[in-house]
């Protein structure tokens, strides 16, 4: 998963109320809590304090991102829930969000004993590929827009309305640029490279106004040009992505250039390098980048 985790966490941090409103209707975001749980090395993706005003009730919402199958997720979600409850002494609302199609265990998680059920744990499962794309495009929740390429019925045509909504909803140029990077990141995973490249080339005004500064733009063009070549394609992608990473690092985080260069030099998988491009291009500080490259060992 690597920096898919980081991407998800950053989007939640950007607009936590959007996530709370989408997955816990009627709740209001209060503040973000520490993800470090008192059972080392247990760390949740996101823990938010939320409040239901009509019930005069405060709860903890736990969001966990998954991009691949994991048969242990029911037990893990239960462990997070119990451990977070032990720390906060508040009701825990647990949600696992699957970004890409994979096997997804169905809740609840139960533990059966010789005389019947000992434990039943309920949690919410969100499979993005089952959610109609129109639902999120019309929701008025900008932090969720980067995920629209992953939704049911999504085509490259979702990029333009999503970008225009972000322009209207996100006032800061830096935040807006960052969230558009996330949108392109997921688009590059969801759509065929040649189709995506053709779309961007045909939408010159959109590209020039919003996307040309994105670290993903040149990569997407390169990917589209290279697709179909069988010899050296993977090596060429990896080389181009390493160059993009170091260009971004020189501009944004010169203090960790050498550390980052040594890390990416050992990685050949384009998918992992893609995630690092997003991390270096959007992270607010060096500490986040360093955490992203030390939490997951080089391949």
pLDDT tens sequence across 138-166: 999 988 999 999 999 999 999 989 988 98
Nearest-CA neighbor of 250 among 240, 261, 239?
Answer: 261
Cβ atoms of 20 and 29 within 8 Å: the answer is yes
With cut-offs at 50, 70 and 90, classify the pLDDT of residue 15: confident
Among 115-129, 167-181, 194-208, 273-287, top mean pLDDT goes to 115-129
Q: Which of 108-122, 135-149, 195-209, 217-231 has the lowest mean pLDDT?
A: 217-231
With cut-offs at 50, 70 and 90, classify the pLDDT of residue 172: low
Residue 53: partners with Cβ closer than 8 Å, 6 or more residues away: 28
Residue 216 placed within a domain:
yes
**CB atoms closer than 10 angstroms to residue 207:** 18
Residue 298 placed within a domain:
no
The encoded tokens of residue 168 equal 């209207």
Backbone angles phi, psi at 101, to 5 degrees: -55, 130
Q: How far is the CA of 83 from the CAs of 43, 49, 77, 104, 209, in angstroms?
A: 10, 15, 10, 23, 47
Q: For the segment 222-235, what is each residue's pLDDT rounded down to a tens digit?
A: 555 555 454 345 66
119 and 139 together in one domain: no
Residue 297 placed within a domain:
no
116 and 220 together in one domain: no
174 and 53 together in one domain: no
116 and 185 together in one domain: no
Of 129, 145, 173, the one marking the end of a domain is: 129
Residue 250 placed within a domain:
yes
Cβ atoms of 185 and 278 within 8 Å: the answer is yes
Of 129, 151, 179, the one marking the end of a domain is: 129
10 and 148 together in one domain: no
17 and 120 together in one domain: yes
Residue 72 placed within a domain:
yes
269 and 162 together in one domain: yes
197 and 274 together in one domain: yes
142 and 280 together in one domain: yes
- Rounded Cα distance between 137 and 164, Å, is 11
239 or 81: which leads in pLDDT? 81
Q: Where are the alpha helices (DSSP H) in 62-214?
A: 73-88, 133-137, 159-169, 173-190, 193-202, 204-206
Residue 96 placed within a domain:
yes
Indicate the burial class of 294 (C-beta count within 10 angstroms; 0-12, 13-18, 19 or more): exposed
Query: Cα(first)–Cα(last) distance of the chain, in Å?
Result: 13
**Residue range 2-14: average pLDDT?**
76
Quote the number of domains for the chain.
2
Backbone angles phi, psi at 264, to 5 degrees: -75, -25
104 and 140 together in one domain: no
Nearest-CA neighbor of 35 among 57, 3, 12, 15?
Answer: 12
Of 97, 129, 161, the one marking the end of a domain is: 129
- Rounded Cα distance between 296 and 285, Å, is 18
Q: How many residues does the chain have?
A: 299
Task: Give the pLDDT score at 208.
Answer: 64
Residue 293 placed within a domain:
no
109 and 202 together in one domain: no
121 and 12 together in one domain: yes
Nearest-CA neighbor of 106 among 73, 152, 67, 68?
Answer: 73
Q: Which range of residues forms the domain containing residue 46?
A: 3-129
Residue 62 placed within a domain:
yes
Cβ atoms of 238 and 277 within 8 Å: the answer is no
Cβ atoms of 68 and 104 within 8 Å: the answer is no
Task: With a cut of 60, say whether residue 173 has pLDDT above it.
Answer: no
């Amino acid at each position: 998963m690597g920096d898919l985790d980081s991407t998800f966490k950053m989007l939640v941090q950007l607009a936590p109320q959007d996530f709370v409103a989408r997955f816990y209707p009627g709740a209001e975001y209060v503040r973000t809590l520490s993800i470090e749980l008192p059972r080392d090395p247990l760390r949740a993706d996101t823990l938010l304090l939320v409040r239901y005003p009509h019930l005069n009730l405060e709860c903890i919402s736990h969001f966990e991102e998954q991009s691949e199958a994991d048969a242990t997720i029911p037990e893990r979600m239960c462990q997070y829930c119990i451990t977070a409850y032990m720390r906060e002494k508040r009701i825990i609302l647990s949600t696992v969000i699957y970004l890409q199609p994979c096997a997804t265990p169905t809740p609840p998680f139960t533990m059966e004993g010789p005389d019947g059920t000992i434990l039943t744990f309920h949690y919410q499962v969100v499979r993005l590929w089952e959610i109609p794309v129109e639902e999120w495009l019309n929701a008025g929740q900008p932090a969720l827009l980067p995920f629209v390429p992953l939704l049911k019925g999504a085509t490259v045509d979702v990029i333009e309305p999503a970008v225009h909504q972000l322009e209207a909803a996100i006032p800061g140029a830096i935040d807006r640029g960052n969230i558009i990077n996330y949108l392109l990141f997921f688009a590059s995973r969801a759509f065929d490279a040649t189709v995506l490249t053709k779309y961007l080339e045909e939408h010159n005004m959109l590209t020039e106004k919003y996307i040309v500064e994105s670290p993903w733009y040149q990569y997407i063009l390169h990917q589209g040009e290279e697709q179909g070549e069988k010899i050296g394609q993977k090596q060429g992608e990896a080389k181009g992505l390493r160059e993009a990473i170091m260009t971004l690092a020189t501009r944004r985080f010169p203090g960790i250039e050498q550390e980052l260069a040594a890390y990416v030099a050992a990685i050949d998988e384009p998918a992992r390098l893609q995630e690092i491009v997003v991390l270096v291009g959007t992270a607010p500080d060096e500490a986040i980048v360093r955490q992203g490259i030390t939490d997951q060992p080089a391949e």
